[in-house]
Amino acid sequence: MPIRSRSKSIGYNARNDLVEMDLDSSSMESCDTLSSASHLGNLRSMSRGKLLKPSTKQPTKTVQNETSCMHPLPLGMRGGSHDSIELLSTRNSSLQRRQTLAAIPRLSTHIEEDEANKDTPFSREFLPPDEGKLIHSPQIVGGLQYKTSPSYRKLYKPRNSIDNANISGFRASKKLVLETMQEDAIEGHADRIKVYVRLRPMSSKEKAVGARCCVREANRREVYLTEAASESDYLRLKRLKGRYFAFDGAFPGDTSQEEIYRCSTARLVEGVLEGQNSSVFCYGATGAGKTFTMLGTPHDPGVMVLAMKDLFAKLKQRSTEQKLSVSLSYLEVYNETVRDLLSPGRALVVREDVKQGVVVAGITQYKAFSEYEVMALLQEGNLNRTTEPTRLNETSSRSHAILQVIVEYSTYVDSHLVTRIGKLSLIDLAGSERAIATDQRTLRSLEGANINRSLLALSSCISALVEGKKHIPFRNSKLTQLLKDSLGGACQTAMIANVSPSNLSFGETQNTLYWADRAKEIRTKGPLVNEEQIPGPGQDQLQLVLELQKENQQLRMQVAQLQQKVLSLESKTVAAVPAAVYDGSLAVIRSPSAALVGRSVLKENKVDSDVQPPQIKCGNTPLRTPLTLSSIKRKVLMRSPVAPCPNPALSFHSISRDHFCRKRTFWDITNSPYAKSTSRNIRSNTQVQTPSMLLQPGFLRGRPSPN
Ligand SMILES: Nc1ncnc2c1ncn2[C@@H]1O[C@H](COP(=O)(O)OP(=O)(O)OP(=O)(O)O)[C@@H](O)[C@H]1O
């Protein structure tokens, strides 16, 4: 496990005082255990969280641990926890030490002391170690020494949620994320793609051939790239120029997987739980550490595994029992064909859907109920993934792999039950490579050409997006088609650019940094929240009221329609009776409907406007308002033409008073002088018209003159 430069660790000096030690990174490269570090360490005693003066009376004894061996911290798939910590010592587990530790139930320890972390001291909870336990396999994680003995696991509990995590620099990473968010808020760049750069440590192969470092982390945000020249080439050394690249985060080679996850992806997982779509992808040259970042190893899991752990841990806290589903699919793009990694078979087709965006037709969606199931599926998928050894990388990924997780769950927000659907895409791209770097004229070179082609398509999409072009060539390759939502859609996206520090990969590193620098200018559409409110118990009554109102409205409509039918039937019947029964100058016609219901109709011999005619009723409901003489008069006066009619036969005044005093029927109209003189046929459908239309006294008004 690499050790952070200028980090600190804890141990005991010869007097069994608990001490904190400065660890010199250069020295630690060859000496990974605390025992050897204590040779070099600048020891300071610690008690109750305070630094004491270094002991000058006695030289610090070297603590030897013959059985110690270095192996990665067991961050296995099943997440067994490091519940214990044991400080390295095979000697003198004396009472004094135990008493000292017992008196320090919770000891805050400053682990990081580089410039960036000075103001954010990292604290971690300690419990006194179990007594009399031997140390077998000490580990140095973020400057602390761990003992992986199972008996100690119960005693040590990290404060953070993820088990076994190397959480050194957690505060620092949190600060970095907060700073980025604040800056974005100020600059209005909240929907920008976040870009992080991770340098990998120099490999043993590179060291063996005498490679030199050409890129280094300048600060937490910047990396400095310089072309390395041989030390003897003094002239060239003077001419060399470096360049700074600024990103949302820059991580040196010894950064833990956990820190990478915290800085780059934890925020996006949170977004997915809010119902948003998020994507994280690793980009870089072959052998730069993309797969290590995304997948990691069983002992040092990467972003995919940590994201799943975090996701399930948070879901357990937030989700209600009612609805919870996590479904995932895992696919690869190999030689421009899309293949299902979880159920390998024929090539799949990528389609674009208006509602769902980009979809892969026929892909298998697996439901997972715990992170362990996800790990198992991931492992199975990785076995099906195309990886081949190349000259540069023993386990080179020859395809782009995309893990897509769709989370649907219900939770309470302000006492309302809501269902949220979020999508998380985790993408491990294949690395760009030079043909000479791999193998020429073989299947590897064909794969390499396809990888390069899709990465070229990706870079042209990035260019078009940055330049704000209208047409973005997403369709140029399967990869860009699949990344369409992540790059230009409603999505929160993070890109982790992996680079090798070796000067042998200078060109690739420069290229990666260049494209990463461009990608940080891409603006996405911003996350959309897929949230749906479920009516709670309090909302039931409101819902009931609304439903009843709707039903009431429908019933009213039905009543109105029925009334209309009754009226039209009535008018038909009226039209069918040839002569209305009336008597004298004023009469209220005998309504057939009234006759039907067996009601008597009043017959008046006298003209008396004050006498109210009886209402014609159907049961208790008045069928229509009966006309009185005064109401008819009023209507006639209002509608009568001002100019006298040239034809006296048709003039308004020539029409007898009786004409208005009774209801006009179909026969009246068809036999009227107007109808005869115009020789117009009255359409049969006139009969169907409602009585109100037929009764319009102004019906004759405005008709063309018969002459
Ligand atoms: N941060 C790191 N710490 C320790 N080892 C690393 C780190 N990054 C990468 N490595 C090691 O470097 C080697 C190459 O890494 P990896 O396979 O992840 O590269 P890659 O970018 O995925 O390459 P390719 O594109 O060819 O698949 C691996 O052996 C890996 O263990």
**Could you state, in order of their start, the residue ranges of all structural domains in the chain?**
7-152, 182-534, 553-700
What is the C-alpha separation between 422 and 202, in angstroms, rounded? 38
- Please tell me the total number of residues recorded for the chain in this structure: 707
Question: How close is the Cα of 281 to the center of ligand 1, in Å?
Answer: 15
Q: Residue 299: what residue type?
A: H
C-alpha count within 13 angstroms, C-beta hemisphere, residue 48? 1
Which atom of ligand 1 is found nearest the CA of 203?
Answer: 12
Site of tokens 């005869």: 676
Residue 266 is which amino acid? A
Can you tell me the distance from the alpha carbon of 296 to that of 289, in angstroms, rounded to the nearest whole number?
9
Cβ neighbours for 180, distance < 8 A, ≥ 6 positions apart = 194, 248, 249
Tokens 């999409």 correspond to: 461
CB 54 within 8 A of CB 45: yes
- Average the pLDDT over 533-548 and give the result: 69
Residues in Cβ contact with 345 at an 8 Å cutoff, skipping those fewer than 6 apart: 339
- Select the more confidently predicted residue: 361 or 137: 361
What angle, rounded to 10 degrees, do the helices at 371-384 and 303-318 form? 150
pLDDT band at 619 (very low <50, low <70, confident <90, very high): low
Ligand 1 mutation pick, 29, 197, 200, max ligand atoms within 8 A of CB: 200
**The predicted structure's pLDDT at residue 653:** 46
Instruction: Please identify, by atom number, the ligand 1 atom nearest to the C-alpha of residue 295.
Output: 18
Place of tokens 């990292």: 122
| Element spanning 327, H or E | strand 324-334
Query: Which residues does the annotation place in the binding site for ATP?
Result: 284-291
- What single DSSP character describes residue 427? E
Instruction: State the pairing for strand pair 194-199/249-251.
Output: parallel
Structure tokens at 589: 């016609």
Contact criterion met (CB below 8 Å) for 425 and 400: no
- Weakest-pLDDT range from 66-80, 335-349, 632-646: 66-80
Backbone angles phi, psi at 226, to 5 degrees: -140, 145
The answer as to CATH 3.40.850.10 being correct for domain 182-534 is yes
Residue 261 scores a pLDDT above 90: yes
Mutate to test the pocket of ligand 1, among 263, 286, 291 (most ligand atoms within 8 A of CB): 291
Q: State what percent of residues in the chain have pLDDT above 70.
A: 47
Q: Which of 108, 105, 113 is nearest to 49 (CA)?
A: 108
Residues with CB under 6 A from ligand 1: 200-201, 203, 284, 286-292, 393, 395-397, 430-431, 498
- Cβ pair 503, 212 in contact under 8 A: yes
Structure tokens, 203: 């490999």
- 268 against 410, higher pLDDT: 268
CA of residue 344 to ligand 1 center, whole Å: 25
Q: Which atom of ligand 1 is nearest to the CA of 431?
A: 25
pLDDT (0 to 100) of residue 458: 86
Scan for tokens 């599926």, then name that residue.
377
| pLDDT of 283 strictly over 80 | yes
In the block, residue with structure tokens 């060239």: 236
By the 10 Å C-beta count (0-12 exposed, 13-18 middle, 19+ buried), 157 is classed as: middle
pLDDT above 90 covers a percentage of the chain that reads 12
| pLDDT for 269 beyond 60 | yes
Of 114-128, 371-385, 459-473, 672-686, the least confident: 114-128
Q: Are 56 and 109 in contact (CB under 8 A)?
A: no
* Ligand 1 atom 8, closest CA: 289
ipTM surpasses 0.95:
yes
Question: CA–CA separation, 484 vs 279, rounded Å?
Answer: 11
pLDDT at residue 584 tops 50: no
Per-residue burial over 303-312, b if 16 or more Cβ lie within 10 Å, else e, is bbbbbbbbbb
Nearest C-alpha to atom 14 of ligand 1 is from which residue?
Answer: 287
- Over residues 634-647, the mean pLDDT reads 47
Pair 447, 398: CB distance under 8 Å: yes
Cβ-proximal residues to 70 (8 Å cutoff; 6+ apart), any chain: 1, 32, 33, 139
Region 395-401: mean pLDDT is 81
How far, in Å, from the CA of 71 to the mean position of ligand 1?
A: 17
Supply φ then ψ for residue 66, to 5 degrees. Answer: -70, -30
| Interval 342-364 mean pLDDT | 84
56 CB-contact burial (10 Å; exposed 0-12 / middle 13-18 / buried 19+): exposed
Q: Residue of the nearest CA to atom 11 in ligand 1?
A: 289
Name which residue sits closest to atom 23 of ligand 1, judged by CA. Answer: 287
Our measurement of the distance from residue 386's CA atom to the centroid of its chain's CA atoms, rounded to an integer in Å, reads 29
Atom of ligand 1 nearest to the CA of 498: 21
**What is the pTM (predicted TM-score) of this model?**
0.54
- Report how far ligand 1's centroid is from the alpha carbon of 291 (Å): 6
Q: What is the pLDDT of residue 305?
A: 92
* Contact of 156 with 126, CB cutoff 8 Å: yes
Best residue among 75, 204, 292 to mutate for probing ligand 1's pocket (most ligand atoms within 8 Å of CB) is 292
SS3 content of the chain, % helix, strand, coil (to 5): 35, 20, 45
Q: How far is the CA of 2 from the centre of ligand 1 (A)?
A: 14
